[in-house]
Amino acid sequence: MWISKRGFARRAVRCCAAAAMILTGSMVATVQADEQAAAKAGEAAGKVEIGINEYEDTAKKRPVDKSVTRLGEKPEDKSTTDHAKLKELQGPFSSGPEVTKACLGCHNKAGHQFIKNKHWTWKYHNPKTGQDLGKSVLVNNFCTNAAGNEGMCAQCHAGYGMTDARTYDFKNEENIDCLVCHESTGTYYKLPPTPGNKACSVMFEGKKPIDYTKVAQSVTLPGRNNCGACHFYGGGGDNVKHGDLSSALFKPSKKIDVHMGEDGENFSCIICHVGEGHEWAGSRYAPIAKDTTKSKPGLPRQTATCESCHGVEPHPMSLMGIKLNDHTDRVACETCHIPEYATGGVATKIHWDWRTAGKLKNGEGYREEGYIQGNGEPRHTYKSIKGNFKYGENLKPIYKWFNGTEIYTTVHDKFDPSKPVEINHLEGSPDDPDSRIWPFKKMVTIQPYDKGNNTLVYMHLWGDDDDAFWGNYKFDRAIARGMKDFNLPYSGEFGFVETWSYWPIVHMVQPKENALSCQECHAREGRLKDLKGFYMPGRDRNEWIDRIGIFIVLATLLGVLGHGLLRILFSRGRSH
Amino acid sequence: MAVYKVKVFSRFERFWHWTQAALIFILLFSGFAIHGFFRPTGFENLVWTHVVAASALIVLWIFAIFWHLTTGNWRHYLPTTKGLFKVARYYAWGIFRGEDHPYKKRFWHKHNPLQALAYLGLKLFLFPVIWITGLAYLLYGFWSQGPVTASSLEWVAVIHTLFAFLMAAFIIIHIYLLTTGHSFKEHVSPMITGYDEVELTDAEKAYLEQDEPGRIMT
């Protein structure tokens, strides 16, 4: 596999300079406990690379999967068109928009459909909360904001040439990138739309030119590698953001995910994220936390929930099955069926400290490797452009009541900086019938904020100018510029605030053999020990009832012992 | 009236008693383990054990109730104040002074009044509450929907737990009282052999000899 080969190649050239890196505490003491891994980490620690090189994986040849994109017998026979034979696709093509034009020539409604899609608009209006969300406006606790940094971030925009979302022509359908989702050679890649600071030039070097004719003829329904090219690398690298979406899912075994495993169902993403007309199920901005819709067998439903296939009573009709089916109204399937995330050897970022960003070596930004993940690849624990990171693998989720409503802290919202700021507050409680217990990854970050106005800030990270943080390493200038570009008030003084974000854990699903045992939660110190406000057998007790009960039993015991003792004493008295 | 060794506990009654005793011990042990006082094995094993033992006990109770009604044995548990005070006084006072137990077993009153009252309370109050709350606990998914689950389940659990403590207290007293006769062994043996010393009227004796041979030990 390409990943491990790369890992081996890197290790071969690694200097083993500094175990000191481990002592800095940037290596998180998480699950990767075996000595071999620790030895590898020591070997890798302290490797320093100069320059800025981000998202290299998304611009690499992807491992093409032959995943199942249609259900049923011999799905490959169901396609009615071999695109390689179409005269419209004989080319030659020399650019993406040329290919798109050819696509839209036949698929003359696809463009109308796609320009409404989040992958294109980067906008989402949540009708329930009234919030305007989407990549174009939100601040997260990874690289913070795409707004103003489209020159870099739009590498994962499903269109061509979005250098600035404010001026981009969202009506121009010929700028839709059909290939990134539909090509199947694995040779297509995207680069950041603008070159950025000169220190970033390495990101554009040594790329093999794309054979647009070949990739255009390869189009088909999206496989895991298409979706994964962006979604596995969210937040700045492999599995950085989600924790349950990593390159381990390109060609996973059943052990990593029961549905996607190549030795099992080998599902592509679109088997669950169903959709027609370029709109598909599975929104993270407005997820379905409790799916109670009863569907008739065979009736297609445009939802990505477990229940849409498995129903609300998925367990067999045994005593145990009935008891488990009792849980589905209060516990999400994922809670039991995803015991751990960031499995399969790819770590996820769990802690990010922006405060240390901007350190230089000989006037240049640099990166340090300090963590070797399960598959042998090193991960950066420090980057001048981003600060320090901690990683984790095979992590237990945290659990929260969730009803599907998330309240985001946007760049406009004021907060109390003395407490951690929830980037996406999760609504839900045990008293709410629409809430269920869900598993989440919790991302903790220390990131810049406006000290005067108590708001989050936009940072100008990317650009060939004197303000862009990536290249100039000045927070004050990057923030001032980032806010000014969007006419946002900025007090001129920034500080750092702890932020939390929650990422629903929904992939890396395990079959019943590996699902959580009851004991994992139904115990005093179980996984749900921090969830308050409801009675859970095996975890909870009424302390007063326990005290009264123990008192009754002890009093009874003392009573009979006293009675017995008196009998013995009196009988002795009598025998004398 | 004379005292005879009479079979007072039929085979079914003895089977019922000892099976019930074993099941109650299993239930107390697994129940308090589920409650979290200790955790010798996984939650599902404990719940499984508890549910199987409880189901077995419920089946046994159904048979026992049927048996009580059809054989007329329910009459042993009729409460009476006659002699009740004497027996209470005996346990509070007379027992220390070496007095004899004021109650003599009779064929249709094999329990002393205090004993009969205690067993009646056990059968009409303790057992039903445990039984009903236990079933409600087991089947809460069928009667409780949505957020109601949270608080009502707690009440069911609390009552069930409290009565489990009362069961434990009952067992302590029950076992202790076995030591109050001539010997522990003598007190236990009727529930094993079935025979105990009972005062029979001449009529009862004649009837048993005539119609139930083997009932009086010769």
pLDDT, averaged per 10 consecutive residues of chain B (218 residues), comes to: 85 94 97 93 94 96 94 87 87 85 80 88 92 91 64 88 95 91 82 88 88 84
- Are residues A564 and B176, on separate chains, in Cβ contact within 8 Å? yes
Mean pLDDT of the residues in chain A: 88
On whether the CB atoms of residues A152 and A192 are closer than 8 A, the answer is yes
Which residues of A, range 414-473, sit inside 8 Å of B by Cβ?
Answer: 430-433
Which residues of chain B does A515 touch, with a Cβ-Cβ cutoff of 8 Å? none
Question: How far does the CA of residue B57 sit from the closest CA of chain A (Å)?
Answer: 17
3-state secondary structure of A197: coil
Residue A27 located in a structural domain:
no
Q: Please count the other Cβ atoms lying within 10 Å of the Cβ belonging to residue A268.
A: 24
Decide if A409 is inside a domain: no
Record: contact A323-B151, CB cut-off 8 A = no
Phi and psi (nearest 5°) for A449? -145, 170
Name the stretches of chain A with pLDDT < 50: 1-44
Residues of B in CB contact (< 8 Å) with A are: 34-36, 39, 42-44, 47-48, 51, 91, 95-98, 137, 140-141, 145-147, 149-151, 153-154, 157-158, 161-162, 164-166, 168-169, 172-173, 176, 179-180
**Residue to substitute from A328, A513, A518, interface B, most B β-carbons within 10 A:** A518
pLDDT at B167: 95
Task: Say if CB A312 and CB A328 are below 8 A apart.
Answer: yes
Q: Judge whether A576 lies within some domain.
A: yes
Helix residue ranges per DSSP H, A115-164 = 118-121, 150-153
Give the gap in angstroms from C-alpha B56 to the nearest C-alpha of chain A. Answer: 15
Domains present along chain B, CATH in parentheses: 10-189 (1.20.950.20)
User: What are the φ and ψ backbone dihedral angles of B21, each rounded to 5 degrees?
Assistant: -60, -50
- The answer to whether A292 contacts chain B (CB < 8 Å) is no
Tell whether A122 is covered by a domain: no
Is residue A526 within 8 Å of A339, Cβ to Cβ?
Answer: no
Query: What is the 3 state secondary structure string of A312-339?
Result: CCCCCCCHHHHHHHHHCCCECHHHHHCC
pLDDT digits (tens, 9 = 90+) for A530-554: 998 888 999 999 899 999 999 999 9
- Chain B residue closest to A532 (CA)? B150
pLDDT for the residue numbered A206: 83
The verdict on a CB contact (< 8 Å) between B149 and A541 is no
DSSP B141: H
Is the minimum CB–CB distance between A518 and chain B shorter than 8 Å?
A: yes
Partner-chain residue, chosen from A432, A519, A553, that has the shortest CB–CB distance to B165: A553
Contacts of A539 in chain B (CB under 8 A): 36
User: Are the Cβ atoms of A534 and B165 closer than 8 angstroms?
Assistant: no
Measure the CA–CA gap between B106 and B3, rounded to whole angstroms. Answer: 9
In a domain, A555, yes or no: yes
Q: Could you tell me which residues come within 8 angstroms of residue A339 by beta carbon, excluding any fewer than 6 positions away?
A: A396, A510, A514, A515, A516, A520
Find all residues with CB under 8 Å of A508, minimum gap 6, and list them.
A244, A249, A256, A257, A338, A340, A341, A343, A344
pLDDT score at A498: 98
**Are the Cβ atoms of A553 and B168 closer than 8 angstroms?**
yes
Q: Is residue A522 part of a domain?
A: no
CB distance A111 to A176 below 8 Å: yes
Q: Is A251 left (phi over 0), alpha (psi -120 to 50) or beta?
A: beta
A562 within domain boundaries? yes
Radius of gyration (C-alpha) of chain B in whole angstroms: 20
Work out how many domains chain A is built from and give that number. 1
Cβ A314 vs Cβ A333: under 8 Å: yes
Query: A with B: how many residue pairs have Cβ under 8 Å apart?
Result: 106
Kindly report the number of other CB atoms within 10 A of residue B109's CB atom.
21
Chain B contact for A574 (CB, 8 A cutoff): yes
CB–CB contact A538 B150 (8 Å): no
Supply the range of the domain harboring residue A565.
545-576
Can you give the pLDDT at residue B184? 83
Q: How much is the pLDDT for A274?
A: 87
What confidence score (pLDDT) does residue A298 get? 57
pLDDT tens for each residue of B124-174:
999 999 999 999 998 887 777 655 455 688 889 999 999 999 999 999 999
Q: Is residue A454 part of a domain?
A: no
pLDDT at A576: 56
**How many whole angstroms separate alpha carbon A104 and alpha carbon A101?**
5
Instruction: Count Cβ neighbours within 10 Å for each residue of A145-168 and write b for 16 or more, e otherwise.
Output: bbbbbbbbbbbbbbbbbbebbeeb
> Residue A242 belongs to what H/E stretch?
none
Nearest CA in chain A to B39: A523
Q: Give the pLDDT score at B149.
A: 52
